[in-house]
Amino acid sequence: MKHTAFFISDSTGITAETLGKALLSQFPKIKFKKLTIPYVNSLDKARETVMQINQVSRKDQAKVLVFSTLANPEMRSILADCDGMVMDFFDILIGPLEEELQSKYAKEVGKLHKMPDLKTYDARIAAIDFALNADDGINVKNYKNADVILIGVSRSGKTPTCLYLALKFAIRAANYPITEENINISHLPKDLIPYRKKLFGLTITSARLHEIREQRRPNSSYAKLAQCQKELKTVEQIFKKEKIPYLDSTAFSIEELATKITQIKKITRHGL
């Protein structure tokens, strides 16, 4: 018996989906079919959504679950009349908040992921420009303006993490590859020496690195397991010897890596 879960939002649906999926993942034995409907931001769209839910509900044997973040009380009350079990994150908390704050809420829709102030927005864009202009060891001269510099072997997750740090947290992250040419446990690559305090290492298991590199360049010497093992061993020795904090990217999502790096390096997150 499969449950259908809807994630409904008057904005992007990203938060309803993330939180809803996290709740569902606590029931690993149950199968869920997941559907997201963003921008339910008018009474008509709310009614349309109810029809969609009811249609699924008539076919499904199991109860349809509905996770929503709707700021508008009229839309919420339309949705509440559908045949699914509706859990609205706003509905549940806005009442207690109004009471505590002794204030009525604004009922503005689309506030999640709404355009933040221009200053924050500009900082995000500047951080993205920075990451693109300091990717993969280019423009070392920009490192003086970096908040953090990620180092590690090729395909250890540096670029996605830098981009996420920029996009989500407005953090200026550069990245520098440790390659066969500059790998040397007796000293750091020359480019990095002045910025020792900004360095953060990424490592990865050799099996996973081998797999990723094989996808990229099948049967190359670059992708060979022995080559991956050798590079990773050296790079981890450097991290330890130079006391560079580092994480294994194998088990963490990009969001987790980015968050852990800001925590360990004590860098302020902006822009959310």
Least separation in angstroms between residue 203's CB and a second copy is 16
Residue 198 C-beta: closest distance to a second copy, Å: 21
Q: Which residue in 116, 214, 225, 242 binds a second copy (CB under 8 A)?
A: 116
Choices 22-30, 41-49, 51-59, 190-198; region in contact with a second copy by CB under 8 A:
22-30
Residue 154 binds to a second copy (criterion: CB under 8 A)? no
Minimum CB distance to a second copy smaller for 159 or for 234: 159
Ranges of H-type helices in the chain: 14-24, 43-59, 73-80, 89-101, 118-133, 158-169, 206-216, 225-241, 254-264
| Binding residue for a second copy, selected from 90, 130, 176, 195, defined by CB under 8 A | 90
Q: Is 41 in the site for a second copy (CB under 8 A)?
A: no
Q: How far apart are CA 244 and CA 186, in angstroms?
A: 14
Task: Round to whole Å and give the CA distance between 183 and 185.
Answer: 7
Cβ of residue 164: shortest distance to a second copy, in angstroms?
Answer: 6
| 107 belongs to the binding site for a second copy (CB under 8 A) | yes
Within 13 Å of residue 15, how many CA atoms lie on the same side as its CB?
16
Q: Which of 85, 34, 30 is nearest to 63 (CA)?
A: 85
Among 76, 168, 210, 213, binds a second copy (CB under 8 A): 168
CB of 140 to a second copy, least distance (A): 19
The reply to whether 265 sits near a second copy by the rule CB under 8 A is: no
51 is an interface residue for a second copy by CB under 8 A: no
CA angle 223, 226, 230 (to 5 degrees): 100
Compare residues 107 and 187 and give the one whose CB is closer to a second copy: 107
Identity of the residue, 146 or 170, whose beta carbon is nearer to a second copy in the bound complex = 170
The answer to whether the CB of 195 falls within 8 A of the CB of 172 is: no
Strands 173-177 and 148-152, bridge-based pairing: parallel
**CA separation for the pair 92, 124 (Å, rounded):** 32
Convert residues 232-261 into a mask of x (bound to a second copy by CB under 8 A) and - (unbound).
Answer: -------------------xxxxxx-xxx-
